[in-house]
Structure 1
Amino acid sequence: MAKGKYAAIVLSAGRGKRMNSTVPKQYLLLNGKPVLYYSLLAFENSMVDEIILVTGEEDITYCQKEIIERYDIRKVKSIVAGGKERYHSVFCGLQELERRKSGAEYVMIHDGARPFVDNAMIERCAESVEIYKACVAGMPVKDTIKIADEDLFAAQTPKRSDVWMVQTPQVFERDLIYQAYRKIMAREQSGNLIPVTDDAMVVETVTTCKVKMVMGSYENIKITTPEDLEIAQVFCERKRL
């Protein structure tokens, strides 16, 4: 069982262009409540000690009034504005933890548009990070994967058992992920940024720490398109959320 002190950074700054909606995907209603509510509730009801919510500057008041206060989410200690890209927003959350002088030893980074993170998954990640220092939730792929060349011809077929779909939460020792992000941001300022698409890649790029894969769930989907919202509604009804 996990023993450390944990903070969660929940990311809600994306605009969701693929949703074809004027409302950001994390604020669309799912079973009558904003998608973001479900992610926050999962961490509220978990062993996590505090939550930092990172959102668009224009959405801070909405999140405070219509989600945090309306649904009595008490572990959210700060709501901060995010940045241009996802990695900028994560760094904003990490900086807020530093500013608050948080006593958290570990940080869970989670996409607010993944409403079906649950307590069992959070516990699995916590148990793993206290052993390996870095871990991410994910699931083995069900389909055969092809690596295409620049002309879109199949160039490689990786062994299916070696390929995972990466999810969130992604969990790290706090100092490890903070220092790794500082290095990435320094690279960006010097014009030498390697594009990073998730937090694990930040650690993989600038440290020698290996990232452990932890079983997530095939239901732990990220709501990105209208079809995802329809699937999520089915999951909500099945889970009676």
Structure 2
Amino acid sequence: MIKNKSVTAIILIAGSSERFGKKTNKNFELLNNKPLFIYSIDTFLKNKYIDNIILVIKKEEEKIVGDELKKHITNNIITLVVGGKTRDQSVYNALLKTKDDIVIIHDGARPLIKDEYINNCLYEMDNYKGVTIGVKSKDTIKITNNDEEVIETTVRKNTWLIQTPQCFDRKILFSSHKKIKDKQNITDDCSLLENCGYKIKIIEGDYMNIKVTTKEDIYIINVFKNNVDML
């Protein structure tokens, strides 16, 4: 249980959206007449442990983000921070704007995040410096070389697909960002702590917490959102 610790949520919507196949930011795609990222903000605003929210954006999208926040959000404790060219740079920019004890990082393009996963992630911060939500892989995963030849097959029962949110001791995450200079193969913040020798705890989530990456994902999200009581 979290006691006497302040928490900042960092929500990322400054990505390039290259794989989405449109020129516009995927986070502005509508789900029941609301942009995707608004759903994530709503969930974090309602969480009893969240003290502050930092929304990481592109500089050129500051006006449209501001307009959408005014339209959909009434309780606005949100600070806008301009992101960098990469995910790790965007997170680092956000870390510079908070002094809270814990940061919880989430992809704005995961609109179906549940409050219970935020809580479960935060509860484990009494025992770990880094915690993430994930799901066990349903498929066999194979590792290949650059010629797409299989060099290794993972053990399925020990293979996880990592999602967000991810929770961290802010000071530890900040120092890990400073320590790891080569971030070319760093695709999430847990990897930074792993490279610095910290153990990461995985909390099992669910398969509805998908990240919208391609246009097909919008259809999947719509099915999940509008038929959740049937699942």
TM-score range, shorter chain: over 0.9
Instruction: Report the counterpart of residue 178 of structure 1 in structure 2.
Output: 174
Instruction: Report the counterpart of residue 13 of structure 1 in structure 2.
Output: 14
Contact 1:27 1:36 in 2 (8 A): yes
With structure 2 as the length reference, what TM-score do the two structures score? 0.93
Cα 1:73–1:43 change in 2 (3 A) is farther
Contact 1:141 1:160 in 2 (8 A): yes
Q: Would you say how many aligned residue pairs link Structure 1 and Structure 2? A: 227
The reply on whether 1:234 has 2:228 as its aligned counterpart is no
The reply on whether 1:209 has 2:198 as its aligned counterpart is yes
Percent identical residues: 36
Q: 2 CA distance for matches of 1:80 and 1:13? A: 10
Q: Which stretches of structure 1, 4 residues or more, deviate above 6 A after TM superposition?
A: none
Shift of 1:55: 0.5
Shift of 1:43: 0.3
Query: Unaligned regions of 5+ residues in structure 2, if any?
Result: none
Q: 2 CA distance for matches of 1:124 and 1:158? A: 27
Instruction: Report the counterpart of residue 122 of structure 1 in structure 2.
Output: 118
Instruction: Report the counterpart of residue 49 of structure 1 in structure 2.
Output: 51
Secondary structure of the residue that 2:210 maps to in structure 1?
Answer: coil
The reply on whether 1:197 has 2:152 as its aligned counterpart is no
Q: 2 CA distance for matches of 1:229 and 1:194? A: 29
Shift of 1:75: 4.8
CA displacement, residues 197-229 of structure 1 (integer Å, 9 cap, x when unaligned): 100011112x22111111121111000111100
The reply on whether 1:111 has 2:107 as its aligned counterpart is yes
- After superposition, residues 89-104 of structure 1 pair within 5 angstroms as 89-97=90-98, 102=99, 104=100
Shift of 1:194: 4.7
Q: 1 CA distance for matches of 2:184 and 2:16? A: 23
Shift of 1:193: 4.5
Secondary structure of the residue that 2:96 maps to in structure 1?
Answer: helix
User: Counterpart amino acid of 2:194?
Assistant: E
User: Counterpart amino acid of 1:52?
Assistant: I
Instruction: Report the counterpart of residue 32 of structure 1 in structure 2.
Output: 33
Contact 1:50 1:75 in 2 (8 A): no
- After superposition, residues 130-209 of structure 1 pair within 5 angstroms as 130-184=126-180, 187=181, 192-205=182-195, 207-209=196-198
Secondary structure of the residue that 2:212 maps to in structure 1?
Answer: coil
Between stretches 72-81 and 157-166, larger displacement belongs to: 72-81
Cα 1:117–1:80 change in 2 (3 A) is same
Q: 1 CA distance for matches of 2:64 and 2:153? A: 46
Cα 1:64–1:216 change in 2 (3 A) is same
Shift of 1:15: 2.6
Shift of 1:5: 1.9
Q: 1 CA distance for matches of 2:60 and 2:184? A: 29
Contact 1:26 1:113 in 2 (8 A): yes
Between stretches 74-83 and 155-164, larger displacement belongs to: 74-83
With structure 1 as the length reference, what TM-score do the two structures score? 0.89
Instruction: Report the counterpart of residue 65 of structure 2 in structure 1.
Output: 63
Q: 2 CA distance for matches of 1:166 and 1:226? A: 21
Across the aligned residues of Structure 1 and Structure 2, the Cα RMSD in angstroms comes to 1.5
Secondary structure of the residue that 1:222 maps to in structure 2?
Answer: coil
Query: Unaligned regions of 5+ residues in structure 1, if any?
Result: none
Contact 1:53 1:78 in 2 (8 A): yes
Q: 1 CA distance for matches of 2:30 and 2:78? A: 24
Secondary structure of the residue that 1:177 maps to in structure 2?
Answer: helix
